Amino acid sequence: AYGFKFFTIGNVSYLAVANAYNGTSFNINSKIYQWMPVSKCFGNGTTCGAAFQALATNGATQLQTFTTGPDLYLIAANAYNGTSYNISSSFYQWMAGSQCFGNNSVCGTALQSIPTSGAAWWEPVTISGDIYLATANYYNGSSRNISSSIMKWSPSGCGDAQLGTPTTWTGDQSPSPNGYPTGLFTGSRLYTLACKWLDGTTASSTNVRVTTQTELQLSANGSTTPTVYITPDTSALIQW
């Protein structure tokens, strides 16, 4: 075990354990245990020592939680998969109906994946009601002199101001509020992008939880990247 996180949901207490390596593999499950007050132990609700939920992780250094409104999220900091340090850390949402962490429909499936490099730590910070998440990247396989990221939680996507008439933007001519190309946009309704997407340089279809509707079509690198659809009700982390 590399790290522990104690948290509560309602009046129930849990302990999350980040497992990094088992002597053979870095690709092992990290586990969540529920406090059983009658038995005075952590377990799965009935058996002491049994995991309440297991999450697939890769050299996990930390399991962190943060809340926004009534929703609880868990972050798994994945540092190494046995081959590469440049892997994604994963975010999960607490699913009250299923009593598990998942993607809001399937237990154990990540809600969102964020590219990291030897991620050592995630830290949530609230400023004026906005939630920011700082990630400490440790190593990218060749250097420790690398950037870490601060991301802002966007509960309603990257903006919802309708621009009006149908327009098509291509490549570097697309809106670029942070100085980065944002790809190819087409659609009958377009929305402002007051952010740049998660990979830090271009929009990425692998790092955004999307709702498939024909509102705004985004392709990260022209025709070479699968198309995703982003609507104003999309929830995602955005890099500021």
- Candidates 122, 147, 146, 125; CA nearest to 135 is 122
pLDDT at 57: 98
What's the pLDDT score for residue 186?
Answer: 35
**Contact in structure between 92 and 53 (CB atoms under 8 Å):** no
Task: Report, as ranges of residue numbers, the positions in the chain whose pLDDT lies below 50.
Answer: 156-240
What pTM value is reported for the model? 0.67
Residue 35: what pLDDT?
Answer: 98
pLDDT at residue 48, as a whole number: 98
Distance of CA 90 to the CA centre of its chain: 5
pLDDT tens-digit map of 81-124: 999 999 999 999 999 999 999 998 999 999 888 899 999 999 99
Supply the pLDDT for residue 155.
Answer: 57
> Residue 152: its pLDDT value, please?
79
- Residue 69: the pLDDT is 80
Residue-level pLDDT at 9: 95
